Structure 1
Amino acid sequence: MIRPYPIILFILLFAACQTKDNTKPEDKSSTGRYEGPIIDMHLHADFLEDYGGGGPICVNRGKVILPGWDPEKALTMDSVIRCDIQVPSSESNEALTTETLEMLDKHNVYAVTFGTPERVGEWHEKSPKRIIPALSFTSEKSARYTLSDYKKFHEAGKLQVFAENGAQYHGKTLNDKAYDSIWSLAEQLDIPVGVHLGEGPPGGAHLLGGSSPSAYRVSLGSPFQLDEVLIKYPKLRVYVMHFASPLVDEMIAMLYSHPQLYVDISQNNWGFPRAHFYSQLERLINAGFEERIMWGSDQMVWPETIEVAIETIQEAPFLDPSQKQKIFYTNACKFLRLSNEEIQSHKDYN
């Protein structure tokens, strides 16, 4: 027989959470901008060579179109995406460092930054207050590191976040047993973890491999693969980069069941049609997760994308200033467990 008590308790708890104000929601389209520090949960310290030497990229300041491709023709980035407005890449690796750090200064951004330890270290040395050092455990370059190496990086302050971890790009899932030791280490050392789930570049299933077949698979982008990971390692702090787009419903289900799980909205906020991104973000907000969404840029070699990603949130017609503040800053403060002193330093530094 089903006992009624848990059901009654659930109903009472649910009712207690409901607002007593049944008035029509206010129109937020004319509300103000957020003014304050920003935390970027997704910044690359890479090289132009990692992106074909650079070149302009489409942003959502205008129309973005993803046309069909004729397989008889060469597959290029220009053949899979068109847009009204592009932004340039930096012209050199030195300029990339300078221009990215200048953009962080301009908008008072503090960034979780990943790349090689040497490259991240270079950026951190130039801007120790703005750069939060991070390392990946799934990149090809990370294969040379042992658990002992990661412990040493962490002790030296060079590993404050495990990110970006893109098992999907390598044809693997995050619940692969090969990653068990890393998950265990992250839980043991209390290191937050950022994982890539969702779209790569347009045409990525074909473009990413170069002359070889790509290992990237759309089918490996489901957030459900984290279900067993978060059960096995319940004290992990994990955030899903790109909110596992376009699988928003699956992401909502995971956020509901795993309250320690967060998401970032990087790249989707500048690279996808703005109306499409807004519809996804609003679904997450309407599902009750405004305190689990974190801003990110996914800036690679195009520093101006940081600015576009900020604009997209500032101009969102359905967000009020309080929600913008949560997305830009306070949610990440909570997730990263920043101290009151660190938070005050962000306000004072700019």
Structure 2
Amino acid sequence: MSESIQKFKEMADRAETIAVRLGKADDIAKALAGALAHQTFLKAGKKSHIDSDNLSERTKNCVSVLFGENSNPFDRNFDAKENILIKLDTKSLPVSSLKYEQDGDMLKIILESAEAKSFDPKIVSVEKEAVPTDLLLLINPAEAEVESLLSETAHKNAVKLSIKEKSLAVKSTEILEAFFGEIPDEFKEVVWFLAAHEEKTNHPPKKETLALLGRLLDQNLAYEKIKKAKEALRPSDFWKLFGRALARSSFEKETATTWAFLPKTDFAKTNEGERNLLAILEEMRSLRPESNFFALLWESSLAPATKSINALLAGNDASKLKTLAELLGSFPASSYFFAKGFATFSEAELKIRGFIRRVL
């Protein structure tokens, strides 16, 4: 067991309540890793809460199939609590003693002060205060999201589960083995799906992830369950939209960039929404993982007509991707980022290509 996993296990052992946060992206890898952590805490007898509000129904259905069709992997056994906080400025009103008494349904809080006669009620405030959870776990958060995620959930301790050194599948496995000594049978298909999903976009392949997949091959996996999960995540309408993206795709040899374009008519004709763009990008990456960059440009029906072209960009080099994101006024989330507000496809393509050349 690595030192970092040992420290995390010790923090989790001391915690009674744990919150798992996935961030804003509808990302199947984050959803699977978050659900695995959440279910690990529940199985270990902890009170755990996971926020899955930003996940699509397809993502939730896929995760549910892998955990068992009658299960709810995002179900929680506690909700965040709040206390009523009464505050006053003791510089303006020095308090010598405090007591309370019950008068029927009325609770009286009695303060004794030598300055009571000059008391101004305006110095007293009543507000809600969230009860901090013992441990907050952030699943591979985007840099720009970290501060808001930390502030949104009151906590005593926080840990980030990132992919800087190891994949989410490998880290999830290390956590499972730290708690249970092995991967519990009910989680094996989940780990397999997560590892296979991450590995198909890796270039070069990651040795630890491949080794994990090799170990799981000997575990009598339920491949029918895995097949149903894939169908839940990528139904037939998705492949219609993906096919249109492929029809308008090309590989630019000079910059080793894979390009694809989707006008808004494609969304209407396939009955698919813009929420599935990340999934399209993932499938593009799996077809040509050796590309330096991937650029999926689309025309949004949600943006003003003069600024309706947006881009979803990805890359395998974290440092170069971050630089490209900064040049385009954005920030990376995992290995991708969004750039929005172009007037035309041509403008977006020329600007992005120019910045890619600068990065390379």
Whether the TM-score (by the shorter chain) exceeds 0.5 is no
Structure 1 length normalisation: TM-score?
Answer: 0.23
User: Which structure carries more strand by proportion?
Assistant: 2
RCO higher in structure (CA 8 A, sep ≥6): 1
Structure 2 length normalisation: TM-score?
Answer: 0.22
